[in-house]
Amino acid sequence: MHYHSEYAKLIFAEKAISECSEYLQLFKDGYKANNRKRTIFERATSKAFIITYAKPFLASNKGTKEGYGSGSISTKWLSSCEAEIKTTHHQIVKLSRHLWVAHTNLALAEPEIKLTGPMQQMVSSSQEYFLDEFGLSTLNKLLILCDNSIHSKMDIIRKQIGNCEFKL
């Protein structure tokens, strides 16, 4: 059953990386169309990319009543990558997702709060990430390397389990 659950995780990871490629292309198209001005579209595609990319690398509710939880897929493939790729992966999964998109950690976000009048406040933080800040070509490389790793692992497992149908 171990091979089956690993293969299932890889199928979901493959789908996530494919979606990330679509989000990246949408971001690029929107970025060009809006003359490099920040819009809600860039924010939305950046958040969607970050959430979707991080998903396969995070464990999810193992053994819950609601169904089969899964661990994360392996990141051993990162060990042979250049530093820029490793840093970008870490920034997306650990910093961007945890700090900006999915959770708020005030100590790490270091917000600046300025009270400008009665009942008015402005909160700014340097922790808002847009895809172009990672480098669009770096993100493209990251997705390709990740996708290659996923397919390589799928090929190995497929040799072990052969043709079959299974349910988790």
pLDDT tens readout for residues 100-123: 777 766 666 677 777 777 665 656
Q: The tokens 């994360």 sit on which residue?
A: 72
Over the chain, what is the mean pLDDT?
A: 82
Q: In the numeric block, which tokens belong to residue 45?
A: 């595609």
Q: Are 168 and 5 in contact (CB under 8 A)?
A: yes
Q: In the numeric block, which tokens belong to residue 163?
A: 């043709």
Give the percent of the chain with pLDDT over 90: 36
Q: Are 10 and 150 in contact (CB under 8 A)?
A: yes
Considering the entire predicted model, what is its pTM? 0.80
Domains of the chain by residue range: 2-161
Q: Is the pLDDT of residue 66 over 50?
A: no
User: Which letter does DSSP use for residue 54 in this model?
Assistant: H
- pLDDT for the residue 166: 72
Query: pLDDT tens across 12-21, in order?
Result: 999 999 999 9
pLDDT classification of 37: cutoffs 50, 70, 90: low
- pLDDT for the residue 11: 92
Torsion of CA 113, 49, 143, 148, to 10 degrees: 130
